[in-house]
Amino acid sequence: MRLSLKDHMSRKLQVISETDTVDNALHVMRNNWIRHLPVLDKNNEAVIGMISERDLLASFKTQAPVSSIMSTPVKIFDINTPLDSIVHAMVEEKMSAYLITDNEEVIGIVTSEDMLVLLESLLTKDDTAKPTTVMDLLMNPVLQRTMNMMSQAGI
Protein backbone atom coordinates (compact mmCIF):
# COMPACT_ATOMS: atom_id res chain seq x y z
CA MET A 1 0.00 0.00 0.00
CA ARG A 2 1.46 3.34 -1.06
CA LEU A 3 0.67 6.19 1.28
CA SER A 4 -0.33 9.44 -0.36
CA LEU A 5 0.09 12.98 0.97
CA LYS A 6 -3.40 13.95 -0.22
CA ASP A 7 -4.85 11.50 2.32
CA HIS A 8 -2.80 12.82 5.26
CA MET A 9 -3.08 16.60 5.11
CA SER A 10 -5.62 19.27 5.97
CA ARG A 11 -7.38 20.91 3.04
CA LYS A 12 -9.46 23.32 5.12
CA LEU A 13 -6.94 26.12 5.37
CA GLN A 14 -7.42 28.98 7.82
CA VAL A 15 -5.45 32.11 6.88
CA ILE A 16 -4.77 35.54 8.32
CA SER A 17 -3.75 38.88 6.83
CA GLU A 18 -0.29 40.32 7.46
CA THR A 19 -1.95 43.35 9.07
CA ASP A 20 -3.90 41.30 11.63
CA THR A 21 -2.62 41.44 15.19
CA VAL A 22 -0.85 38.75 17.17
CA ASP A 23 -3.84 38.69 19.53
CA ASN A 24 -6.27 38.13 16.65
CA ALA A 25 -4.11 35.33 15.22
CA LEU A 26 -4.09 33.56 18.58
CA HIS A 27 -7.87 33.93 18.74
CA VAL A 28 -8.25 32.36 15.25
CA MET A 29 -5.98 29.46 16.24
CA ARG A 30 -7.81 28.74 19.47
CA ASN A 31 -11.26 28.93 17.85
CA ASN A 32 -10.22 26.51 15.10
CA TRP A 33 -8.03 24.16 17.18
CA ILE A 34 -5.02 24.75 14.94
CA ARG A 35 -1.38 25.68 15.57
CA HIS A 36 -0.30 27.18 12.22
CA LEU A 37 -1.63 30.02 10.10
CA PRO A 38 -0.49 31.02 6.63
CA VAL A 39 -0.17 34.81 6.36
CA LEU A 40 -1.62 36.57 3.31
CA ASP A 41 -0.39 39.83 1.80
CA LYS A 42 -2.38 43.06 2.26
CA ASN A 43 -4.52 42.25 -0.79
CA ASN A 44 -5.28 38.73 0.52
CA GLU A 45 -3.95 37.28 -2.72
CA ALA A 46 -0.68 35.52 -1.92
CA VAL A 47 0.81 33.64 1.02
CA ILE A 48 3.83 35.58 2.24
CA GLY A 49 4.59 33.90 5.56
CA MET A 50 3.58 31.42 8.23
CA ILE A 51 3.06 31.82 11.96
CA SER A 52 2.87 29.11 14.57
CA GLU A 53 1.25 29.07 17.96
CA ARG A 54 4.77 28.98 19.40
CA ASP A 55 5.60 32.24 17.57
CA LEU A 56 2.49 33.89 19.00
CA LEU A 57 3.06 32.73 22.56
CA ALA A 58 6.65 34.01 22.44
CA SER A 59 5.51 37.47 21.35
CA PHE A 60 4.85 39.98 24.11
CA LYS A 61 3.38 42.54 21.71
CA THR A 62 -0.22 41.36 21.36
CA GLN A 63 -1.21 44.33 19.19
CA ALA A 64 1.75 44.00 16.81
CA PRO A 65 0.98 42.88 13.24
CA VAL A 66 1.63 39.21 12.54
CA SER A 67 4.01 40.27 9.77
CA SER A 68 6.46 41.24 12.51
CA ILE A 69 6.76 37.66 13.78
CA MET A 70 5.94 35.46 10.76
CA SER A 71 8.43 33.04 9.25
CA THR A 72 9.53 33.62 5.69
CA PRO A 73 10.02 32.29 3.12
CA VAL A 74 7.12 29.86 3.30
CA LYS A 75 8.15 26.24 3.00
CA ILE A 76 6.05 24.31 0.49
CA PHE A 77 5.80 20.83 -0.98
CA ASP A 78 3.99 19.62 -4.07
CA ILE A 79 1.00 17.30 -3.52
CA ASN A 80 2.97 14.47 -5.20
CA THR A 81 5.88 14.63 -2.74
CA PRO A 82 6.45 11.29 -1.00
CA LEU A 83 5.52 11.32 2.69
CA ASP A 84 8.98 10.15 3.77
CA SER A 85 10.49 13.27 2.17
CA ILE A 86 8.15 15.49 4.15
CA VAL A 87 8.86 13.69 7.43
CA HIS A 88 12.59 13.89 6.73
CA ALA A 89 12.31 17.64 6.07
CA MET A 90 10.32 18.13 9.29
CA VAL A 91 13.04 16.44 11.29
CA GLU A 92 16.01 18.01 9.52
CA GLU A 93 14.60 21.55 9.43
CA LYS A 94 12.79 21.33 12.80
CA MET A 95 9.61 22.49 11.05
CA SER A 96 6.18 21.37 12.15
CA ALA A 97 4.13 22.48 9.12
CA TYR A 98 4.44 22.91 5.38
CA LEU A 99 2.00 24.29 2.84
CA ILE A 100 0.98 21.90 0.08
CA THR A 101 0.57 23.03 -3.52
CA ASP A 102 -0.88 21.59 -6.69
CA ASN A 103 0.24 23.33 -9.89
CA GLU A 104 1.64 26.14 -7.70
CA GLU A 105 -1.75 26.74 -6.04
CA VAL A 106 -1.88 26.32 -2.25
CA ILE A 107 -4.36 23.54 -1.51
CA GLY A 108 -3.62 22.63 2.10
CA ILE A 109 -1.21 22.14 4.95
CA VAL A 110 0.57 19.13 6.41
CA THR A 111 1.67 19.22 10.04
CA SER A 112 3.64 17.06 12.43
CA GLU A 113 0.31 16.19 14.05
CA ASP A 114 -0.93 14.81 10.70
CA MET A 115 2.17 12.62 10.56
CA LEU A 116 1.66 11.41 14.14
CA VAL A 117 -1.95 10.50 13.34
CA LEU A 118 -0.67 8.51 10.36
CA LEU A 119 1.92 6.76 12.51
CA GLU A 120 -0.72 5.89 15.11
CA SER A 121 -3.00 4.44 12.43
CA LEU A 122 -0.13 2.35 11.03
CA LEU A 123 0.73 1.01 14.47
CA THR A 124 -2.87 0.03 15.20
CA LYS A 125 -4.19 -0.87 11.73
CA ASP A 126 -4.67 -4.60 12.38
CA ASP A 127 -6.31 -5.26 15.73
CA THR A 128 -6.20 -9.05 15.17
CA ALA A 129 -2.42 -9.07 14.73
CA LYS A 130 0.02 -9.58 17.54
CA PRO A 131 0.36 -6.30 19.49
CA THR A 132 3.40 -4.21 18.63
CA THR A 133 5.91 -4.33 21.45
CA VAL A 134 8.58 -1.82 22.35
CA MET A 135 11.18 -4.32 21.11
CA ASP A 136 9.41 -4.55 17.73
CA LEU A 137 9.59 -0.78 17.44
CA LEU A 138 13.22 -0.62 18.50
CA MET A 139 14.17 -3.24 15.91
CA ASN A 140 12.33 -1.50 13.05
CA PRO A 141 14.99 0.04 10.78
CA VAL A 142 12.74 2.88 9.60
CA LEU A 143 11.91 3.90 13.14
CA GLN A 144 15.58 3.50 14.17
CA ARG A 145 16.60 5.93 11.41
CA THR A 146 13.80 8.34 12.33
CA MET A 147 14.77 8.31 16.01
CA ASN A 148 18.42 8.85 15.09
CA MET A 149 17.54 11.83 12.89
CA MET A 150 15.30 13.28 15.62
CA SER A 151 18.03 12.95 18.25
CA GLN A 152 20.56 14.59 15.93
CA ALA A 153 18.11 17.44 15.38
CA GLY A 154 17.63 17.85 19.12
CA ILE A 155 13.99 16.77 19.10
pTM over 0.85: no
Calpha distance 149→87 (Å, rounded) = 10
What is the end-to-end Cα distance of the chain in Å, rounded? 29
**Predicted pLDDT of residue 116:** 84
Number of domains in the chain: 1
- The residue range of the domain holding 108 is 5-152
Nearest of 23, 24, 63, 19 to residue 42 by alpha carbon: 19
Please give the single-letter amino acid code of residue 143. Answer: L
Chain centre to alpha carbon of residue 23: 21
Please give the single-letter amino acid code of residue 105. Answer: E
For 19-104, where are the E strands, in sequence order?
Answer: 36-40, 47-52, 76-78, 97-102
Residue 89 sits in a domain whose CATH number is 3.10.580.10
Q: Are 107 and 85 in contact (CB under 8 A)?
A: no
**Predicted pLDDT of residue 65:** 92
75-108 burial string, b = 16+ CB within 10 Å, else e?
A: eebebebebeebbeebbeeebbbbbbbeeeebeb
Calpha distance 105→37 (Å, rounded) = 16
> pLDDT per position in the chain (155 positions), as tens?
567 778 888 888 899 999 999 999 999 999 999 999 999 999 888 899 999 988 888 888 889 899 999 998 989 999 999 888 999 998 999 888 999 999 888 999 998 888 888 888 888 876 555 556 666 666 666 666 676 666 666 66
Q: Hey, which residues does 65 pair with through a beta bridge? A: 21
Instruction: List strands edge to edge, sheet with 105-111.
Output: 76-78, 97-102, 105-111
